[in-house]
Structure 1
């Protein structure tokens, strides 16, 4: 019976080769994802992995013709609920191996980046999910039930590898519909994940980057959108030895230029752009209002969606040319929109 149950996953030969080549079973064991008896964790993981490519969920799989060969639903649910399984370590170690294989195929001069992105993970039909909360969707400008999904990825401009993620609840207890399970052992990875979920988004973003560096991942820059490009997070990332490139929003944030604190629109007036037909209008070097007075370069570019307006891109690497800053931020992020959207889903 156990032999039959262990063969319920029918992976193609190509997928079997990739699982073997990437040592998926080894990464599962190193992350503490093991079982003493019954169906192996690798077999269960392969089943869940296969469901994604078949565009089915577990309920639909149980209604299919192959249901007689599938394990019981309790096997799957217990596997997903074990708080001692360190899924973060598994993803990080697997990503590290994939990235190493990519780097063997590319030039050492190619720029590599970490990309921070956040989206809303909606669970409007849920009622009893741990730490389910009321989240504001900045795209639709509405509140939904669910979580904020913070994603960290690695890219060389052509390939994208998900490195880490954080599923965040609301830090305000009044916005949470359910609290965490009090019976979970506080020493487990599951409890640490739950405790992390009620921290602020910038703190978790810095934590994801630090975890990636601790696991041996290396990148030249960290790319961010306007939500993350603020002085405290920028300073935290630069202290880790990484450069930041991010879009800057016109807000109350001030920048130090010639001992004066100026807003973005004031800095734009200082560059006095003369070639109005160019996409890159000009740049200026200023300092952030931080403890270390971090020097940054702000490049102003034309908004292609509305040519009468401009956008600002900030870089802590002041040695880069204006065009190179725009190239790294624009080309790389444009290629990864599809990857980020599908990883969020």
Structure 2
């Protein structure tokens, strides 16, 4: 009866994956990402198998092999520098958002979320473009990359939309092998060139690519590392309003009450005035940001720092029509990308890949995002309180590990059934084979099989 339940669960998982890939049209999407290997296998087949591997929480080396191909074939495909993995992630997100749009209230503010996380490769030595990456959690440099990620959110569901695996633009910080190709006429060359540029400029490229592939958004949410008048202006040129945490730097100034002041000076001016701090925020004001000689309206919101009462945080946005409470609420949605990073590392092995190729690591990140899209879609469909982690373990339970002793018991039972029926083989021949088989097994397994 136990084996019947296991088979039933596995069929449920296969049906679940088939339903998802059919919903987003993965077969047609894979035809648009420059997959040109001379093989009878399709990228669609390989991605379905990779989804099974990700949901089982295993690496390619320990995964159950397919009857149609080996794990080496999959690694070769992931290492193919001609495949446009970024476009694959964009198209999958766009197809999934298309099915979610009827469920989203028209008053919802759709937003991109930008952030990066450490892609650790501590034991790697010669991986291409391996660099010194700063770990903000531990406060030190380590070997690896920065996984720059662009996400999409409707305040309910978060979906990864685009990404770039960033190295370092400083040659002395590159620890691994240099780029294999620098020819920007090829996709592999453009990908490596992108990895060695400033992240602030790469973010704009990722957003442009997402918009070009039909991903809808009105806002872009980001942390202080991307906040600058230039970044806000570039987003405005794309028809998007930026909203982010600002640095309290004396190098950046805004026009307020006819004077050019820093954020700190504006705060001190408001504090010395007759304005009383609100319950949700302290102060809010309209200023003029500038890029060169170009000026544009900008709203500042000063919020009390919960961790340090003597300090404060500053939010800024080009959407001046939003009320301060709405700005704070919208910026709070940025935390969804942090939850994605934690889940992807804890459950989907984001930073535990054994692939050594730079192109292969880019493909690995795309597969992780595809698996996360699948779980996010399932969480949106079911009406229960299960988290994404609960869903991962629920799907993982549908792929049970069969003990070696159990498999051997099944084999012996099948052979015994042939003995009773005496079909195709003589009884004495089968008994001889069984005896020979048992004598060559370890003593521990022999005792378990005899007792079973």
TM-score over 0.5 (shorter chain) = yes
Say whether 1:22 aligns with 2:3: no
Higher strand share: 1
Say whether 1:265 aligns with 2:258: no
Question: 1:13: which partner in 2?
Answer: 15
Residues 292-307 of structure 1 aligned to structure 2 (within 5 Å): 292-307=294-309
Partner Cα distance (1:269, 1:184) in 2 = 50
1:130 CA displacement: 0.8
Question: 2:148: which partner in 1?
Answer: 150
Matched residue SS, 2:62: helix
Question: 2:160: which partner in 1?
Answer: 162
Structure 1 residues 113, 286: CA separation in 2 closer, same or farther (over 3 Å shift)?
Answer: same
Question: 2:315: which partner in 1?
Answer: 313
Structure 1 residues 46, 298: CA separation in 2 closer, same or farther (over 3 Å shift)?
Answer: same
Question: 2:340: which partner in 1?
Answer: 339
Return the index of the structure with the highest Cα Rg. Answer: 2
1:138 CA displacement: 3.1
Matched residue SS, 2:238: coil
Matched residue SS, 2:72: helix
Partner Cα distance (1:263, 1:141) in 2 = 28
Residues 180-329 of structure 1 aligned to structure 2 (within 5 Å): 180-182=178-180, 186-252=184-250, 253-272=252-271, 275-276=276-277, 278-291=279-292, 292-329=294-331
The answer on whether the counterparts of 2:248 and 2:263 sit within 8 Å (CA) in structure 1 is: yes
1:271 CA displacement: 2.2
Q: Which deviates further from its counterpart, 285-294 or 236-245?
A: 285-294
Task: List runs of 5+ in structure 1 lacking aligned partners.
Answer: 1-8
The answer on whether the counterparts of 1:256 and 1:286 sit within 8 Å (CA) in structure 2 is: yes
Task: List runs of 5+ in structure 2 lacking aligned partners.
Answer: 1-9, 351-452
1:335 CA displacement: 4.3
Partner Cα distance (1:262, 1:139) in 2 = 33
Deviations 1:37-88 (A, max 9, x none): 2433222211222211111101222xxxx44747334312210111111111
Question: 1:4: which partner in 2?
Answer: none
Q: Determine which structure has greater relative contact order: mean sequence separation of CA pairs < 8 Å that are 6+ residues apart, divided by chain length.
A: 2
1:341 CA displacement: 3.1
Partner Cα distance (2:337, 2:170) in 1 = 32
Residues 65-104 of structure 1 aligned to structure 2 (within 5 Å): 66-67=64-65, 69=67, 71-104=69-102
1:343 CA displacement: 4.2
Higher helix share: 2
Structure 1 residues 25, 304: CA separation in 2 closer, same or farther (over 3 Å shift)?
Answer: same
1:181 CA displacement: 4.6
1:309 CA displacement: 2.1
Partner Cα distance (1:193, 1:68) in 2 = 31
Say whether 1:135 aligns with 2:133: yes
Partner Cα distance (2:175, 2:86) in 1 = 26
